[in-house]
Amino acid sequence: MTESPLPKGPAWPQFEPGWVWLCGAGPGDPGLMTLHGLNALRQADVVVYDALVETAILAWAPQAEHIYAGKRGGKPSPKQTDISLRLVELAQAGKRVLRLKGGDPFVFGRGGEEAQMLVAHGVPFRVIPGITAGIGGLAYAGIPVTHREVNQSVTFVTGHDQTGETPAALDWAAIARGSQVIVIYMGMKHIAEITSALMAGGRDPAEPVAVVTNATTPDQRVLETTLGAVVADVAAAGMEPPAIFCVGRVGDYRAELNWQRFIGP
Q: Which residues carry out catalysis?
A: 50, 71, 186
Burial of 85: CB neighbours in 10 Å, binned 0-12, 13-18, 19+: middle
CA distance 92 to 19: 8
User: Letter for the amino acid at 106?
Assistant: F
Q: Which stretch binds a copy of itself (CB under 8 A): 68-76, 86-94, 159-167, 221-229?
A: 159-167
Nearer to a copy of itself, 233 or 241 (CB): 241
At residue 172, what are phi and psi to the nearest 5 degrees? -65, -30
Binding flag, residue 214, a copy of itself (CB under 8 A): no
- Which H or E element spans position 210? strand 208-213
Binding flag, residue 15, a copy of itself (CB under 8 A): no
Please give the residues from 17 up to 46 whose contact with a copy of itself meets the rule CB under 8 A: 19, 26, 29-36, 38-39
Residues 6+ apart with CB under 8 A from 184: 157, 158, 159, 191, 194, 244, 245, 246, 247
Binding flag, residue 157, a copy of itself (CB under 8 A): yes
Distances (CA, A) of 203 to 46, 73, 233: 47, 27, 18
Binding flag, residue 171, a copy of itself (CB under 8 A): yes
- Distance, C-alpha 166 to centroid of its chain: 18
Q: Which stretch binds a copy of itself (CB under 8 A): 44-52, 90-98, 153-161, 224-232?
A: 153-161
Nearer to a copy of itself, 204 or 237 (CB): 204
Residues 6+ apart with CB under 8 A from 200: 172, 173, 176
At residue 114, what are phi and psi to the nearest 5 degrees? -65, -40
- Out of 83, 145, 191, 244, the only residue in the binding site for a copy of itself (CB under 8 A) is 145
Contact characters 233-262, a copy of itself, x per CB under 8 A? -----------------x--x--xx-x--x
- Enter the DSSP assignment of 160: -
Binding flag, residue 177, a copy of itself (CB under 8 A): yes
Please give the residues from 96 up to 135 whose contact with a copy of itself meets the rule CB under 8 A: 104-113, 115-116, 119, 124-132, 135
Contact characters 53-82, a copy of itself, x per CB under 8 A? ---xx-xx----------------------
- Out of 73, 136, 208, 242, the only residue in the binding site for a copy of itself (CB under 8 A) is 136
* Bridging pattern class, strands 65-68 and 46-49: parallel
Nearer to a copy of itself, 175 or 222 (CB): 175
